[in-house]
Chain A
């Protein structure tokens, strides 16, 4: 649809030195991405490296603060999602776009329904025919146009998304973690499709955490780290191991003020804990003063394990003990009574109540301490809030400020302060620094160190491996529901841990 002449360099997409800030935090720092026409181009990076920001800029969902976006050699100032689709760029993302109550036909043709010529009526026959042509040709499957999206499997939903894009004869297809919810056989079908589309001249951008997929599928890969593109390499000259090393920085160890704490008695122990279909046979002990790292890809079972400890899921077998007492909690209230604390990943959704004040959030789990005969002790609450605001250096206009008005880092401090007020002893921190600026990150690391020094036991779940190594004593790697490796944090490197969590240890061992 674009009138531009084919670009001599052969670039389908060129994002040139893009800078993007969110609330002052630098998400992209002169990041570039140059994708040649008719290739499969991988895009990798740890969480927070800037992948999704870059893709959202390309999708027209954000505008860059600096830098140029060129599509087919032509620069565009203000891209909108609509314009991007007109230019033939389509995005396949597992939880986007599809309305569950629509039929396959409605979803496929949403917004560009063909009409019977000269009438306002939908040309249902044409819709059915074009859809089944593509479904049959590319996937060899039949999906009735009248089936509801909500009745489809994840793989089938993805097929619908891809088909929707193919109906438009796309020039560029962007796949964002397409295999996260697919079984191997479905992924193989997807890979065959991607290769075929490339051979037909479609340009593919492929984003994945699974480095073995990148190795298998891509012609070129761009590695992002901390908002910069650190390398763009042809796959022939590199390997999953080399990519892993590039993804994690080595020189930022100073960022992590790890304290040495003398470990105390066991505070938490898990004995052969299993949950059907989620994790199996997990045994571990956590000592007072210890910071234990837990990591694994989506679906590794690490999240489920944390949820089980806090009473949000139940284990099918095995034991949990806290201070030597059985401690399988049926609900969060029981877990809180056992001095467990959970700081969830989705801070705004689950961690804090945005429209309540800092004070109300801080005392939420410890209100019993601030209650006399059922009545609230406002003075007690105030001094507790002031105390914690000072100790944690929470930056707010005052204790009555709504948490909504705080920055991400300070919201997270409020979420943690809630548990300090509760005098919790076992802290479960799920991605504690996601979306937090660097300054606040260091403050949160210090806080974790303080808690350990006071004798708390801490489990940190993080996919930021440099962080995990920097602040923990030990790291357990979960893969498909089992602990497959244990590392002593001071004697490992991010690429070792990454290799273990992506299941590509073998590759690494070969490379050295």
Chain B
């Protein structure tokens, strides 16, 4: 057993040594099916929907699916990083929503342009991440409670500057004056333009985030240490890594990506709606959790999260085209999530421990 085993082979439980060859073969097949389950289902969906509704398969529609999931995927990538360190960030939806308000306020009230607004909003997200990390790492507030409180705080905070009003051009400020600024047209391109008229800018952003985060988490030392922190924080600290800094980094990344998601939403909508970002948190968390099953990783992984987000997007888009009513959407998402979690946790757990 000490010899070098095929790289892709799953860990073989000790008991499997003695079992018959057939059951090993079946187990291998089972593992392959499990790790590929999301891809197989995705392929089945694509084929099924295109057959039922040919318009589904055209490039424009596929791009609109990606555009629809871009924000969720970007936020989901952040969720993945906090899950990797064994944490959880409930505040991302609220950060995204506040970022929509912050971006609108910066342009409409302060009259800033894109090049000032975008860095400002990203910095805002990073700052919230830093505060989350301070609560969790320094003050030892449990992650769920810390970020839940932050979610509350932000949902309220975003209402204060405008006394609860949505922000659009010509906004009347609490002091009675009228805001003079407007959305920078360049800013709107982030949400509305397409590269070469085909690929929406938001999809390009999603891809860039996906690649950057994938490389960070899977190919760098920091990424390895992030997962190690989630795997066993004490052991990682005893190995000489600063788990406090790693966790801080995770929450800052999560906050910054949530702000980026908010920027995309703002650029698409073109105004600061007080009610924006309602389901972002749930959708992003669902994408990250569905991602556990992808390639049989059974741990948070960026690629899986993106695939998870796309999977849900395809399903919803297809069902909508087939005239499924909008109110079934949350049910469908929930069912997918339950199935994915059952696949991750319920089956194929190593029996030897």
Contact = CB atoms under 8 A, between A and B. Distances in A.
Interface of A: 310, 331-333, 335-337, 342, 344, 349-356, 360, 364-365, 367-368, 370-371, 374-376, 386, 389-390, 393-402, 404-405, 418, 422
The 9 closest A-B pairs by CB, nearest first: A336-B240, A353-B231, A398-B5, A353-B232, A365-B239, A401-B11, A397-B12, A364-B239, A350-B234
A356 B1 contact: no
Interface stretch (B204-212, B221-229, B270-278): B221-229
A452 B288 CA distance: 47
Contact of A352 (B219, B222, B223, B235): B235
B220 A374 contact: yes
B21 interface: no
A260 to B, nearest CB: 30
B237 A332 contact: yes
Nearest to A352: B235
Interface of B: 1-2, 4-7, 9, 11-14, 215, 219-225, 227-228, 231-232, 234-242, 299, 350, 352-353
- Give the most central of B9, B234, B299: most A CB within 10 Å: B234
Contacts of B231: 353-356
B244 to A, nearest CB: 9
A376 B220 contact: yes
A370 B7 CA distance: 19
Contacts of B239: 332, 336, 364-365, 418
A404 B299 CA distance: 15
Given A376-B221, A389-B2, A398-B4, A349 B234 contact: yes
Contacts of A349: 232, 234
Contacts of A374: 220-222
A404 B353 contact: yes
Contacts of B223: 376
Contact of A333 (B221, B222, B235, B241): B241
Given A354-B232, A375-B219, A396 B238 contact: no
5 contacts: A335-B240, A375-B219, A397-B12, A398-B9, A405-B13
A275 B132 CA distance: 34
Nearest to A419: B239
Contacts of A402: 11, 350
A63 B149 CA distance: 46
A78 to B, nearest CB: 23
Contacts of B220: 371, 374-376
A405 B236 contact: no
Contacts of B219: 375-376
A364 B228 contact: yes
A333 B240 contact: yes
A367 B11 contact: no
Given A389-B2, A402-B350, A376 B224 contact: yes
Contact of B221 (A344, A371, A404): A371
B336 to A, nearest CB: 24
Contacts of A344: 234, 238
- Give the most central of B231, B238, B352: most A CB within 10 Å: B238
A353 B353 contact: no
B236 A396 contact: no
A54 B91 CA distance: 49
B1 A397 contact: yes
Given A331-B242, A349-B232, A375-B219, 10 more contacts: A354-B231, A364-B228, A364-B236, A375-B215, A376-B223, A398-B9, A399-B4, A400-B9, A405-B11, A418-B239
Contacts of A393: 2
Contacts of A371: 220-221
A219 B4 CA distance: 58
B232 A367 contact: no
A333 B242 contact: yes
Contacts of B350: 402, 404-405
A105 to B, nearest CB: 28
Contacts of B242: 331, 333
A365 B232 contact: no
Nearest to A418: B239
A353 B228 contact: yes
Contacts of A336: 239-240
A394 B3 CA distance: 11
Contacts of A376: 219-221, 223-224
Nearest to A397: B12
Nearest to B215: A375
A367 B220 CA distance: 10
Contacts of A331: 242
